[in-house]
């Protein structure tokens, strides 16, 4: 029986199982909350039939914590895929460390494949699982992961991931916010919109790009929006989130 744990009050410093059924889990892996001005990173792992896909593993500073928390649920050697929504160090700085202990394929836009040698990977074909611009689907155990184009939000080769089993939509930097009072799950959406607005105005390319993405995902049955920075947006707030994005002037709109 499926069980969700998307409740206000979850401590963002700790790992949490957000979804669980007989052979599928989605786990939040905790963040440092250093308070030093660093951008905190939310990393997640999807586990299906004892195999894992790590989503946006973060930089080298968070690596020990993420590794320790994953080890509670899965042998890290059983991570089959690592997804990077783009090549920024907050998202992907730890990728060489992960590849030193796993044989996981790196799933990312074809656009970023050419950057992999700068992470120390020379035999790119054996490492990479490139995503075409139009997106694709990946059969992962008993679920299907949909890679949905979200280009220019903010990366020019960005995809959001819809997990059909948990009905979670992983959105990378879409939904980014720096919160005064960090909470893993958002309760006060008015306050959260105010926190999201400046970063989305600066980082997202245009309202056209936002509307295009919203049109692709708004018909999905979504239990939660799960970004790489900021709080998880539960089902009750998703309509307001899409409305916020659809009406936001950002990026080149502000020139």
DSSP 8-class letter at 220: S
Sheet strand arrangement including 51-55: 3-4, 16-20, 24-28, 44-48, 51-55, 79-83, 105-109, 128-131
DSSP 8-class letter at 62: T
Taking alpha carbons only, the member of 150, 158, 169 closest to residue 44 is: 169
* Long-range contacts of residues 239-243, Cβ cutoff 8 Å, at least 24 apart: 240/189, 240/193, 241/175, 241/189, 242/214, 242/218
Domain boundaries along the sequence of the chain? 3-131+138-254
Would strands 105-109 and 233-234 be described as parallel, antiparallel, or unpaired?
Answer: unpaired
Query: What sign does the dihedral 81-87-90-94 (CA atoms) show?
Result: positive
Give per-residue pLDDT as tens, 57-115.
Answer: 888 888 999 999 999 999 999 999 999 887 777 778 888 899 899 999 999 999 988 88
pTM over 0.75: yes
Name the CATH topology of 3-131+138-254.
Metallo-beta-lactamase; Chain A (3.60.15)
């Amino acid at each position: 029986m499926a069980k969700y744990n998307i409740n206000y009050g979850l401590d963002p410093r700790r790992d949490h199982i957000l979804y669980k059924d007989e052979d599928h889990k989605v786990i939040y892996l905790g963040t440092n909350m250093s308070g030093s001005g660093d951008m905190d990173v939310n990393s997640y792992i999807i586990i299906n039939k004892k195999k894992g896909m790590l989503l946006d593993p973060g930089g080298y500073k968070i690596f020990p914590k993420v590794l320790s928390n994953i080890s509670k649920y899965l042998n890290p050697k059983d991570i089959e895929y690592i997804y990077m929504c783009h090549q920024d160090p907050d998202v992907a700085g730890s990728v060489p460390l992960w590849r030193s202990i796993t044989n996981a394929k790196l799933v990312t836009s074809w656009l970023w494949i050419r950057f992999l040698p700068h992470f120390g990977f020379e035999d790119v074909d054996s490492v990479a699982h490139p995503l075409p611009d139009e997106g694709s689907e990946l059969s992962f155990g008993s679920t299907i992961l949909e890679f949905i184009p979200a280009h220019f939000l903010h990366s020019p080769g960005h995809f959001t991931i819809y997990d059909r089993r948990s009905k979670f939509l992983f959105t990378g930097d879409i939904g980014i916010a720096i919160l005064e009072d960090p909470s893993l799950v958002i309760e006060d959406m008015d306050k959260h919109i105010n926190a999201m607005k400046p970063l989305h105005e600066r980082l997202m390319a245009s309202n056209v790009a936002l509307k295009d993405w919203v049109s692709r995902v708004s018909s999905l049955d979504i239990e939660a929006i799960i970004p790489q920075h900021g709080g998880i947006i539960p089902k009750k707030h998703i309509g307001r989130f899409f409305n916020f994005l659809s009406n936001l002037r950002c990026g080149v709109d502000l020139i």
